[in-house]
């Protein structure tokens, strides 16, 4: 995870430097689509060696010195010999010799003694002997003899070391370009910022996952040229239309009166005309 974080922040800083060289003012601005794309690139950049190194810190790796050969008590051929001992006239010395020949130095008499004793205790009862052997074989299959290897803390993964060095170099360059002020943050502060560590649970994105998906799809469409964003000019329209003068209102009233008499309902036109006539003197006095 630390390597992924370092890769992402290194790419973010490199992007900021590129934007600064291109003359952009807000070099740290990033949208959801760009952030997701950079995260994907960072994740796929993590090497298999780094992932293996990460597992070394879990302390559950198999001891590399452990013998990788199948354990004797899990050998199916050896258990087949024991089964023949239970179902045929094979003698005890004969089955012991066959097991020794098969397993060689891995043969330990005490490992097989319970199974051989179970056959002899059955006294010719094949079903009883077979059931006892099956139970022992199943129990033995659960005892793998696996040894857990707890390695000493190894050095930092090579990829992580080189990525952290590149990240700090980018941060120093951003400081030289006057985009970072004050004391440079340490690598730990960059990869595990206090603001993010104390953030707690993130609140749900307004609109849920569907809103995030819609926003990303919209940004993809813009990137592909399928949608063209047009900035609203409402904020730039500072001109105010001149107010209508009272003379203009009187002229409009005159036109409305004529139009109502010609095309409107007679009674409605008469009422409207009367209202206009009663208000004209007042409007003329205030001009």
Nearest-angstrom CA–CA distance, 189 and 193: 5
Q: So what's the pLDDT on residue 230?
A: 61
Q: So what's the pLDDT on residue 276?
A: 60
For residue 24, is it left (φ>0), alpha (ψ between -120 and 50) or beta? beta
- CB distance 43 to 6 below 8 Å: no
Neighbours of 257 (CB within 10 A): 18
Q: Is residue 148 predicted with pLDDT exceeding 90?
A: no
DSSP, residue by residue, 222-247: HHTTSS------TTT----PPPPPHH
Q: Is residue 169 predicted with pLDDT exceeding 90?
A: yes
Beta strand spans in 41-170 (E): 61-62, 148-149
Nearest-angstrom CA–CA distance, 228 and 226: 7
What's the mean pLDDT when you consider all of the chain?
Answer: 77
What is the average per-residue pLDDT within 84-98? 88
Q: Which residue has the tokens 């050896």?
A: 78
Q: Is residue 150 predicted with pLDDT exceeding 50?
A: no
């Amino acid at each position: 995870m630390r390597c992924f974080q370092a890769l992402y922040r290194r790419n973010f800083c490199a992007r900021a430097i590129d934007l600064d060289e291109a003359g952009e003012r807000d070099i740290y601005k990033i949208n959801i689509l760009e952030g997701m794309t950079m995260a994907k690139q960072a994740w796929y950049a993590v090497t298999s060696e780094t992932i293996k190194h990460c597992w070394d810190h879990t302390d559950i790796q198999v001891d590399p010195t452990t013998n990788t050969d199948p354990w004797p008590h899990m050998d199916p051929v050896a258990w087949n010999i024991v089964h023949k001992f239970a179902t045929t006239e094979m003698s005890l010395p004969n089955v012991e010799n066959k097991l020794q020949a098969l397993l060689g130095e891995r043969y330990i008499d005490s490992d097989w003694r319970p199974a051989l004793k179970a056959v002899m205790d059955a006294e010719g009862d094949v079903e009883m002997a077979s059931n006892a052997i099956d139970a022992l074989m199943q129990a033995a299959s659960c005892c793998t003899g696996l040894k857990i290897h707890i390695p000493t803390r190894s050095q930092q993964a090579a990829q992580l070391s080189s990525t952290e060095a590149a990240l700090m170099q980018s941060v120093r360059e951003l400081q030289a370009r006057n985009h970072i002020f004050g004391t440079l943050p340490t690598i730990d502060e960059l990869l595990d910022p206090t603001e993010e560590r104390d953030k707690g649970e993130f609140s749900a994105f307004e609109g849920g996952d569907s809103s995030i998906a819609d926003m990303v799809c919209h940004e993809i469409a813009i990137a592909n040229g399928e949608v063209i964003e047009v900035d609203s000019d409402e904020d730039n329209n500072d001109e105010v239309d001149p107010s209508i003068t009272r003379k203009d209102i009187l002229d409009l009233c005159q036109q409305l009166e004529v139009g109502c008499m010609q095309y409107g309902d007679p009674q409605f036109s008469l009422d409207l005309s009367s209202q206009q006539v009663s208000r004209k003197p007042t409007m003329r006095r205030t001009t």
